[in-house]
Structures are given as structure tokens and as C-alpha cells.
Structure 1
Amino acid sequence: MAAGFKIAEPLEYHMSFLKDNCRPDGRELSEFRTTTLNIGSISTADGSALVKLGSTTIICGIKAELTNPTVEAPGKGILCPMLTCPLSAPLDFDLAPQESRPSCQPFIVDVIESSEMIKPEDLCIDRGKLCWVLYCDIMCLDYDGNILDACIIALLAALKNTRLPKVTINKVTCKPEVDLKERHELHYTNIQSAPLFLSLRTPS
């Protein structure tokens, strides 16, 4: 009954709780969602993390691959976040248009790049020839609001969990040699500049 009321009359549904100074999940209006974090959730990834922010559940897996730097940025590596949402956990575009996938993805990229926690230069191995590209696959497993907060937390935790194999350039063949047994953490240029994301909404 309550689920049907929420879908049919979302404004009235939420207003009925606001009158009692509480939220539908029982929290007070000023109370944050309970947050849990699991590091290293995907054993096959180079780095991963799973975040639960209330009922919103986000998992992020990072896969590192060697590639050629772009012509425009020969001394930089590439960070490539991608947000996906399976049919079993669809985003409600009517209730949260600002949290739709087309809006989220460039925002996530901008937050990470502008924070300068990880500089693209640190992902470059051989200027103009070889660099790392980090594919950051972010998946929404369950959606109940505040998806941007959860995505940023999951991505940052996964990046901190990422271990890259040692790569050297063979002086004879000029080809890269990858040592999977020796791995190192990502270099954080300024760990204190890691973004802290918080969504707030003011009454209209």
C-alpha cells in the first residue's frame, strides 16, 4: 500500500513524513544515512570497493591497462570512470533527474580531476609512448537517493585500494615488461585534497 502511494503521489507521500519531522526510513531530518564500506570486494580487479549509503549500494572496480598517451596530453595517463545501472536497480529519472547517468558521469570525472588527488602525470610511464589507463567501472546495485555521494566514496576507496604492477621499458627491444608479482600503490599527489562529497537540499 505504502509503495503504491509513494509511486502514485510522491510529493504527498514525503510530505506526510515531513509533518512528523522524520523521513520514510525512520531517520530524523538532520540525520545522515548509515554508511558501510567494503574494500577489495572484487578479487579480479586491480582495485575495488563496495559502498552502502542507506539502501543505495554502489560497487566500483578498477582495471588498469597499458595504452598510448593521447596526442593532446603525451605526458599524462587516463582516468576513465563509467557509471552503469542494471535493470534490476533503475534510477528514478522523474524523482532525481540531476542524478541520471548522463549528468553523473561528467560530474564524477570533474570532481576527481579538479581535486588533483591523483594527477594524470603520475599515470604516465614513458612520455608520448606509454601510460596507464584506469577504467573505473561504477555500478549502481540499488538506488535510494544520494547516488553521487556513494559513487564518489566508492571510487575514492577503490583508487586507494588499487595496486599497479611494475612496468619497465626493455632497453634492447624498447618494449614494456610487466612484473605482476611486484605491485605498488597509486601515487597520491595530495591525499588531503581528496574530495568529500555531501548532497544537501534546501526547501524551495
Structure 2
Amino acid sequence: MSSANASSDLSSEMEVDAFRRLFPLRFHERHLLESTCPDARKLGKARDTTLALGTIASADGSALAKIGCTTTLAAIKMEVMTPTTESPDEGCIAIDFHMQPICSPIVRPSKPADAAPVISKQLSNTILRHAIFWHDLLQGAILGQWESCLDGLFGNDIYCLDADGALFDAALLAAVAAFSHCGMLPIPENGVPYRSLKTRLSALAKSFDEIIIPH
């Protein structure tokens, strides 16, 4: 009996998924008429959100964010670089959003996801607009004689593990959490690391209420 019920449930789920793909407008109109979301939430109820820091031991900063079923993983690697003449007081933040075929059936191995570069650009614009200068990321003493000749490069890669809507929200949450978790590179002085420095939690805007899109 349980096997028959499982087969019936699977068949029903496949029928619903087929209807959603063939008639997306009618599918969502039906849920709107019932004041529910496709995942059975009421329209005014937000998805459950979870966040875990330090999920990748080899990264300088990392975070796993989950909003509903949408799951994103952010990892940061930092490097010391020579500052540019145009902005000698600033470091560099490079942000990339990746969508692999494992995250969604609509992402194909032979074709990059159309949403990935769009979300990468949105993340870069949002974070760079709220980020502060590199020298303000340091706590305590600035780096003595290194202050005028070193800057930092943050490479923040965000990977979508499961795409189920609200991609930008989940990616932004993971990216900002990874920045708050990362530690500064130890600066060598005569071959010995000078110190291990940590970022302040205020390295990015304390509130993103004005830029996080409600879902």
C-alpha cells in the first residue's frame, strides 16, 4: 500500500511540475487566487532563512546562505597587491556569481546561465556602493611602513547550489556574511607575519534593508 501511495504522489508531483512548465501564467494565477505561493506559503510570509559561517576551511572567509530551498555558497580569497595610481587608498573587490547545471534543470552544461552575469553585476554594484575604503577595514594600527605600498584584493566567488527563486537575495546574504567572516592576510615583516587582523562587521553597510528585494 505504501508503495502505491508513493507512486501516486510522484505521479501527482510530476503532473503539477508539467503544468507549471507548460502553463506558467495559469499556474501562478491559480496560486494568487488562493493567496498562496507555489511552496504553500501565505503571500505575506517570508521564506525560512538560515546562514552558516566558515563552511570552507581553505577560504579566507566563507558563508552558506539558504532562503527557502535556494542555497548559495560564498568563498573569499585575499591577496596582497600593489595599489593603483588612480585609487591608492582603496583595495579591489572582484565578485563573480556562478550557476552550474546541478543547481537547476534549466541550466545546461553547454550554455552559461543567462541570470549569472546579471546577478554578478547587481552584486558588484550593490557591495561596491556600500563598501568602505581598504584602510578602514583594518583594526588597530595600520601597517607601518607597509601602509603606503600595499593594498588588498578580495576575490568573492558565490556559487548557486540550488536555484528556487530569490537568487539575488541569497547571493547577497552569502557574500556579505563571507566578508564579515574573513580575516586579513598576515603581512610579512622580515619574513615573519606582522599580525593577523580581522575585519570589522561594519566593513559593509550595517543595514541592507533598502536594497534587499522582498520575496
| Range into which the TM-score falls when normalised by the shorter chain | 0.7 to 0.9
In structure 2, the residue corresponding to 1:62 is in which secondary structure? strand
Structure 2 match to 1:111: 126
Counterparts in 2 of 1:13-92, with a 5 A limit?
Answer: 13-90=27-104
In angstroms, what is the RMSD of aligned CA positions? 2.6
Q: Specify every segment of 5 or more residues in structure 1 that has no aligned partner in the other structure, as ranges.
A: 94-98, 171-176
TM, length-normalised to structure 1: 0.81
Distance 1:87 1:190 in 2: 33
TM, length-normalised to structure 2: 0.77
The structure in which a higher percent of residues are strand is: 1
Please say if residues 134 and 151 of structure 2, whose CA atoms lie closer than 8 Å, have aligned partners that are also in contact.
no
Q: Specify every segment of 5 or more residues in structure 2 that has no aligned partner in the other structure, as ranges.
A: 1-14, 108-113
Q: Which moved more, 1:160-169 or 1:42-51?
A: 160-169
Structure 2 match to 1:96: none
Distance 1:138 1:166 in 2: 24
Q: Which moved more, 1:29-38 or 1:128-137?
A: 128-137
Distance 1:73 1:192 in 2: 21
Per-residue displacement from partner, 1:70-124 (whole Å, max 9, x unpaired)?
232122111111111111114869xxxxx822221122122112223x4234469
Percent of pairs identical after alignment? Answer: 28
1:8 CA displacement: 1.1
From the superposition, tell whether residues 184 and 85 of structure 1 become closer, same or farther in structure 2 (CA, over 3 Å): same
1:191 CA displacement: 6.0
1:189 CA displacement: 5.2
Q: Which moved more, 1:20-29 or 1:63-72?
A: 63-72
Tell me the amino acid that sits aligned with residue 106 of structure 1. K
Structure 2 match to 1:165: 185
1:127 CA displacement: 5.7
Tell me the amino acid that sits aligned with residue 183 of structure 1. S
Per-residue displacement from partner, 1:145-204 (whole Å, max 9, x unpaired)?
11111111111111111012321454xxxxxx5629x52211455666442343248xxx
Tell me the amino acid that sits aligned with residue 156 of structure 1. V
Please say if residues 123 and 133 of structure 1, whose CA atoms lie closer than 8 Å, have aligned partners that are also in contact.
no
From the superposition, tell whether residues 139 and 178 of structure 1 become closer, same or farther in structure 2 (CA, over 3 Å): farther
Distance 1:178 1:106 in 2: 38
Tell me the amino acid that sits aligned with residue 163 of structure 1. G
In structure 2, the residue corresponding to 1:45 is in which secondary structure? coil
Please say if residues 50 and 67 of structure 2, whose CA atoms lie closer than 8 Å, have aligned partners that are also in contact.
yes
The structure in which a higher percent of residues are helix is: 2
Please say if residues 180 and 200 of structure 2, whose CA atoms lie closer than 8 Å, have aligned partners that are also in contact.
no
Please say if residues 72 and 162 of structure 2, whose CA atoms lie closer than 8 Å, have aligned partners that are also in contact.
yes
From the superposition, tell whether residues 111 and 36 of structure 1 become closer, same or farther in structure 2 (CA, over 3 Å): same
Counterparts in 2 of 1:91-130, with a 5 A limit?
Answer: 100-116=115-131, 118-122=132-136, 126=146, 129-130=149-150
From the superposition, tell whether residues 38 and 149 of structure 1 become closer, same or farther in structure 2 (CA, over 3 Å): same
Distance 1:190 1:199 in 2: 21
In structure 2, the residue corresponding to 1:11 is in which secondary structure? helix
Distance 2:153 2:136 in 1: 11
The structure with the larger Rg is: 2
Tell me the amino acid that sits aligned with residue 137 of structure 1. D
In structure 2, the residue corresponding to 1:23 is in which secondary structure? coil
Please say if residues 91 and 100 of structure 1, whose CA atoms lie closer than 8 Å, have aligned partners that are also in contact.
no
